[in-house]
Amino acid sequence: MQTRGMSFEGAKSLRKPNVKVLLATLFVIVCWAYSPIGIHIGLQAYAPGQLALMRFLIASLFMALMATVKGIARPRLRDFPLLAVLGFLAVSLHHIALNYGQRGISAGAASVLAQSTPLFSTLLAQWVFKERVCGWRWGCVLCGLLGAAVVVAGDHGWGAMDAHGLLILLAALSWSLYFSLQKRHAHRYDALTMVCYTLWSGTLLLFVFAPGLAGAARQASASVNLAVLTLGVFPSALAYLAWAYVLAHSNVSRSTMALYLIPPTAMSMAALVLAERPSIMVMTGTVIVLVSVLALNFEPITKKSPTAF
């Protein structure tokens, strides 16, 4: 009876973390799906650069509180250039391109294009990091880029091509570079320390957009400032911490696949909040992009010739 009781308690304790991981994953999906909607609202009162700076000033202050409570390691002097590059890619370049891109493209379409990051990661693996990429993955990349082109062309109607969509793809490329570098150097610091220094360094680089920020904040409506505050706290801070928790307590590839729910979630939220209705062409491109990105995780196993001993 005692052994059986211990077994039941052990099984119960194993189930609890799964529920926490599921809730954390859902939290991340909702937060990151809200991001293009919040950007769309914030751009009503802020210039793209000002919006990025205001968003990450809030996120940086929030993470400073977290760092005070939890404690983080001090950066080594030799790591300053790396942290500056990570901040530039993940915060400065990524969000400036994202904000300027969303001036001419819908929130739903932006969420789809931003999800093309794995396609660029595959290209970087081949051309920058000299890793071998098989024909299957090349096919997925080409199909995904075709889907992205369909989304860009169809966001404003059949045959209408908007260069703003290319800026969203630049943001995805920037994020791919960040993710590739961060993955190769993540062993230097724990997740909270890495997130803090990345946010802080990227925010410092955004201070070139500080002139006029205070005036824009005063003139913005309460609803716009609430949307920006939400952007700073949830997608830019809490979601990163929740995602670090998910990756630490679950299978990485399985967890990453859950992020493909972000575009349909963002489209649903944009329909409710912004009354956006994606065109058939955008929906078609969305399916192509998501299937292509998903297929990158299901590379077929080829038979190898027997090894001679």
DSSP string of 83-121?
Answer: HHHHHIIIIIIHHHHHHHHTTSS-HHHHHHHHTTHHHHH
pLDDT at site 218:
95
Is 2 part of a structural domain of the chain? no
Q: Considering Cα of 164, then 233, then 27, then 93, what sign does the dihedral take?
A: positive
Note the pLDDT tens digit of each residue in 10-50: 444 444 557 888 899 999 999 999 999 999 999 999 999 99
Is 223 part of a structural domain of the chain? yes
The proportion of the chain whose per-residue pLDDT surpasses 90, expressed as a percent, equals 46
Which token pair is 105? Answer: 């493209």
The proportion of the chain whose per-residue pLDDT surpasses 70, expressed as a percent, equals 85
Is 262 part of a structural domain of the chain? yes
Flag whether pLDDT at 304 surpasses 60: no
Note the pLDDT tens digit of each residue in 175-229: 888 888 887 777 888 888 988 999 999 999 999 999 999 999 999 999 999 999 9
Q: How would you class 296 by CB atoms within 10 Å of its CB: exposed for 0-12, middle for 13-18, buried for 19 or more?
A: middle
Taking CA 107 as the corner, what is the angle to CA 101 and CA 110, rounded to the nearest 5 degrees?
50
- How many domains does one find in the chain? 1
Is 36 part of a structural domain of the chain? yes
Quick count: other Cβ atoms within 10 Å of Cβ 127? 10
Is 301 part of a structural domain of the chain? no
Mean pLDDT of the chain, nearest integer: 84
Is 302 part of a structural domain of the chain? no
Is 11 part of a structural domain of the chain? no
pLDDT at site 157:
62
Range of the structural domain that residue 77 is part of: 19-295
Is 14 part of a structural domain of the chain? no
CA distance 205 to 87: 8
